[in-house]
């Protein structure tokens, strides 16, 4: 793993933890793609700059007939997923889900509290 990635952290404990999280993520990607971790590392460009967690929020939206709302992926039109996207700072997960559903489908939703 590239050591410059952890350059913004001064704590050895954090550096070790970040490396472990990255290794887990690489293993998950490799398992999903049914390729080796080495292949995933080769395909991923090095991440430069400040490393931050990237949190993805997805919305499970059902209509009155319990039909599930799915959106077609922009990158691969053969893939479908729950509407959602990266979490925005200052918004709750519910607010992000509402915003993403509207952006991706044009539908306004409300959630049970």
Q: In which band, very low, low, confident or very high, does the pLDDT at 84 lie, cut at 50, 70 and 90?
A: very high
> pLDDT class for 2, splitting at 50, 70, 90?
very low
4 pLDDT higher than 60: no
- Scored b (16 or more CB within 10 A) or e, 16-45 reads eebeeebeeebeebbeeeeeeeeebeeeee
pLDDT beyond 70 at 27: yes
- pLDDT > 90: percent of the chain: 49
pLDDT at 102 over 50: yes
Interatomic CA distance for residues 82 and 20, integer angstroms: 28
Per-residue pLDDT, 93? 92
Q: Look at residue 49 in the predicted model and tell me its pLDDT.
A: 58
| pLDDT tens per residue across span 42-79 | 887 776 656 667 789 999 999 999 999 999 988 888 89
Would the pLDDT of 100 be above 50? yes
């Amino acid at each position: 793993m590239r050591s410059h990635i952890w350059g913004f952290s001064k704590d050895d404990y954090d550096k070790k933890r970040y490396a472990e999280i990255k290794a887990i993520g690489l293993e998950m990607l490799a398992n999903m793609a049914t390729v080796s971790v080495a292949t995933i590392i080769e395909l991923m460009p090095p991440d430069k700059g400040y490393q931050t967690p990237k949190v993805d929020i997805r919305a499970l939206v059902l209509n009155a007939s319990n039909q599930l709302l799915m959106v077609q992926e922009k990158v691969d039109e053969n893939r479908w997923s729950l509407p959602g996207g990266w979490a925005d700072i200052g918004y709750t997960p519910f607010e992000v889900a509402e915003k993403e559903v509207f952006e991706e489908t044009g539908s306004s939703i409300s959630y049970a509290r």
